[in-house]
Amino acid sequence: MKIRTSALLITLLSPALLFAAAPQEAAASEGVIADIAGKFGVTWPTLIAQIVNFILVAAVLYKFAVKPIAATLEERQQKIAEGLQYAEEMKTQLAQAERERTEKVKDAAAQAQRILSESREQSKEMIEQKTQEAAAQAESIIRKASEATELERQKMLSEVRQEVARLVVATTGKVLSRDLSDSEKATFSEAAAKELASSQN
């Protein structure tokens, strides 16, 4: 921006510098210039005063108008550059956030798959465990039922033996037409029980 301002001042001051730097040419063409200046009413003191006024006005304009405008433009360009840089940073951060989100989604899917797999394994193990427990319970129930049946059978056999022994004693008493003594009753009962036990085996 300073280069542009300097170029502008040089362009504006170049006619005055040409007149001041070339006195020989001015002398050679003094007749022509004096004719033209006379037609337009320009004199040397007026021309020099106008050049000085122009330089003063240009300096004042540069100090109070061009320089603040240039500073404002430079500040705006800096803000625009900062905004572009901020936008680029946000774009990078957005891309990073998108990558992180994608990574998290992948991790969550893998974790869900792992949990699902573990749940299936646990359910299989639980089913097998419950099946084994149910089989053990069924076996225990069958064993208890068998034991209960065996106890019931033994009880019934004992009752049957007692009843058979009673019947044998009663029948023997009727056959012999007399009442049997306690020792005879015990003997006949034992004989009947032994006979019944041997017939079952």
Domain ranges of the chain: 2-91, 153-200
Q: Identify the pLDDT of residue 155.
A: 84
Give residue 119's Cα distance to chain centre: 21
pLDDT band at 74 (very low <50, low <70, confident <90, very high): very high
Taking 3-state DSSP, the helix, strand and coil percentages for the chain, each rounded to the nearest 5, stand at: 95, 0, 5
Please name the amino acid found at residue 47. Answer: L
pLDDT mean over 124-132: 89
Write down the pTM of the prediction.
0.37
Mean pLDDT of the chain: 80
pLDDT surpasses 90 at 13: no
pLDDT surpasses 90 at 94: yes
Q: Identify the pLDDT of residue 54.
A: 95
pLDDT band at 21 (very low <50, low <70, confident <90, very high): very low
